[in-house]
Amino acid sequence: MIIEDEILVLKEVRYNDNDKILHTLSKNNGKIQVLSRGCRKNKSPLINISQIMAYSKCQLYAGRDMYILNSGELLDNFYNIRSNITAFLHGTYILELLNYISQENDVDGKAYDMTIRLFQILNFIEDNESKIANIISVYELKLISMLGYRPQIKECVLCGEKLNSKLSYFFNIKDGGIQCIRCIHNNNCVNINTGGYDISYKNIILLNNILMSKLDDESIINEIGDDMNLLIKKYLFYHIGKSDFTTLKLLNKADKGN
């Protein structure tokens, strides 16, 4: 059976002399593996759509073990990202993240469309580490929310009392939301032992605004600080069960070298 679908190449693996196995995220079939035959030959019509970060509309044959790439039209290879080292490393991290969290044949059209939009943004963004990191944080928080871990930030996860600007709060990574200071004291909890982090009322509002905003909303992006970037990553990594992404290690080395 032959199907048509859009795919984003997350990872490419050399296979035999001239082929590749592509780990891809597709719009209509979720994460799928695709065999691209002969794509490593110089004159192959599949060469451009069989590379990491390639975004294509393809005809796929549904084989017994994986899909086989029959033909395709390259929609975008996000070429400019490759000349922007910061955008490239962050983009590669996102591909690595998606390859880890995505399940075979588990379709999430909203996450797919958001990912394509992210790469469109990164393709034309200036080489600005802070701005790119902030956009990635917006994407990460939206993504983990789509996976079913939307943080509870409008009320205390323990007592259910609505957010109040006069109270102090912790953000509990494990429980997935804010805890008011009264509940922390009443339950004799210690901040560090509950996976809690101090969070200001302003940053709680910012978390909500991030969830409601577009990826490239400048008014939101400019408000995000290092503390918020760290909190979002800790929240994401806790709930997906992984933090040691190879590209993040490269980003950290690059930061230390500056």
Contact 192, 94 (CB under 8 A): no
Residue 192: per-residue pLDDT: 44
Domains of the chain: 2-76 (2.40.50.140), 80-253 (1.20.1440.120)
Residue 239: per-residue pLDDT: 95
pLDDT over threshold 70, residue 2: yes
Contact 78, 122 (CB under 8 A): yes
Residue 249: per-residue pLDDT: 84
Average pLDDT across the chain, whole number: 91
Residue 234: per-residue pLDDT: 94
pLDDT tens digit string along 127-163?
999 999 999 999 999 999 999 999 999 999 989 999 9
pLDDT tens digit string along 153-183?
999 998 999 999 988 899 999 989 999 888 8
Neighbours of 245 (CB within 10 A): 17
Quickly list H helices, 49-178: 85-101, 109-123, 129-144
CA distances from 76 to 7, 65, 104, 116 (A): 11, 28, 24, 10
Task: Name the pLDDT band for 190 (thresholds 50, 70, 90).
Answer: very low
Name the pTM for this structure.
Answer: 0.93
pLDDT tens digit string along 193-233?
446 788 999 999 999 999 999 999 999 999 999 999 999 99
CA distances from 253 to 68, 84, 132, 198, 230 (A): 38, 17, 17, 28, 17
